[in-house]
Amino acid sequence: MTASNLSRRGALCALAAGSVVMTTPAAAIGADPIFAMIASHKKLQAAWNELYDRLQEAEFDAAKEHGNRPSALIHWRDYTIGASEIDTRRAQLIEAGEIDPATIEQEYLDANARYEAKIAAGVAWDKRTGLETLSKNVDLADAAAGRCSKRLARTMPTTPAGAAALIQYILDDDLEADESYWHMTALRSAIAALNSMAVPA
């Protein structure tokens, strides 16, 4: 863990602890929408985890007969990437200015074509092994959890206890691994909520 992560986590802990100093009536807590959002997010994450574990186990078993499922990643100029990372790599190469832009564009088109071929190979493997439906269900569960993450991050708590619960939920997640996903937006919502509840001195 880096010093910046330690500082950030320490600040979050202090904020979470400080936000529950004021007492909040139980009825007000029940009316705070953040609690329902956190519960929904937990439920969807658990559903995705359960399906993903099932898929991983099924893929392991299928690989014994059909070989491993084709990876959806490609290699492009010392990077192993996929999906939106291809666009990011293109932008990085253009910004660096060390390669002719026309060459980058041709390589970018080739990278996308190779990525699409990888995706198609994976889909064909799923069909061949009978895992197409389970794989689609995992993707659907992941998408549902992702949409809920965005709604959760934009939901502003209405009580100090709700703000503390949101901050604690952020801390309980893997904050270091993916801070840019929904955590920082949710943290801003918690801070905005606490600021709106502050009583002028």
Residue 105 has pLDDT above 90, yes or no: yes
Does the structure show a pLDDT above 50 at 6? no
Tokens, residue 61? 């078993």
117-160 pLDDT, tens digit per residue, is 999 999 999 999 999 999 999 999 999 999 999 999 999 999 99
Helix (H) / strand (E) element for 80: namely strand 79-81
| Whole-prediction pTM | 0.74
Which SS3 state, helix, strand or coil, does residue 17 take? helix
How many other C-beta atoms are found inside a 10 Å radius of the C-beta of residue 132?
Answer: 14
Count Cα atoms within 13 angstroms, Cβ side, for 75: 1
pLDDT value, residue 173: 83
CB 178 within 8 A of CB 84: no
CB-based contact 134:51 (threshold 8 Å)? yes
Taking the CA atoms of residue 11, residue 17, residue 18 and residue 24 in that order, the dihedral angle to the nearest 10 degrees is: 150
Please give the average per-residue pLDDT across 151-173, as a whole number.
93
Distance CA 104, CA 107 (A): 5
Per-residue pLDDT tens digits for 73-96: 999 999 999 999 999 999 999 999
- 27: pLDDT confidence band, cut at 50, 70 and 90? low
CA–CA separation, 59 and 71 (whole Å): 12
Helix (H) or strand (E) holding 12: helix 3-18
Question: What's the one-letter identity of residue 38?
Answer: I
Over residues 41-62, mean pLDDT: 96
